[in-house]
Amino acid sequence: MPLEPLLYAPPTEPRLVFIHEDRDMVVLNKPSGLLSVPGRTPDLFDSALSRVREIHACAQAVHRLDLGTSGVLVVATRRKAEAVLRQQFQDRKTRKVYLALVRGVMSEDSGLVDLPLICDWPNRPRQMVCHATGKPALTQYEILERSRHFTLVLLRPHTGRSHQLRVHMASLGHPILGDNLYGEQRPGERLMLHASQLGLFHPYSGDWTVFHAACDFAAHISPVALDPLEPSTPDSISET
């Protein structure tokens, strides 16, 4: 079934929520409903990047979050910093932690989802599991809380495929709440997926730095209780 046209109505207040700012980069807590970068048409121009460029004219994106995903988003403000940051994301030297509220009560306290993904081309932007031609995709999960109908999950992606966390949770039979592609989105419901923490090497000093963004649907979860995000080391989980 073809998707309905996107009705883009990004939040306007607060316009930007800064977590960190220096001469090389800014770190934002991107709200759900705001594009990371401008779309192809004028009605999709408003984005985290275009808003940052109102302050830092040379700002460049180094990674993205889905429209519905909130949380830590890094934007480079100098060309040299852009190259260093972008390379870290490409080489998987960054470390990420997400929080998700999923439908149903998950039985296992932790686990690993190892399912290769590929674009479902006739139904793009949907992605799908394909063991024949899909690219490796790995997600670790850990249960934080269970309620009668929902589960709060900590997610650690070891790869960065499009919609990886959304597809992997749905594959377990527990789609993320508010997911219009792989689950069920109720009127006015946001995607309950939040980029809670991001660890990276500062592009100028080289110091390992971890940024945390407060989560509106899990405000009671302290960053101390989450993954400490140690500096990048070779993954113990094979992708081959």
- The residues annotated as belonging to the active site are 66
Cα–Cα distance for residue pair 165/137, rounded to 1 Å = 9
Of the candidates 232, 168, 196, 218, the residue with the CA atom closest to the CA atom of residue 73: 196
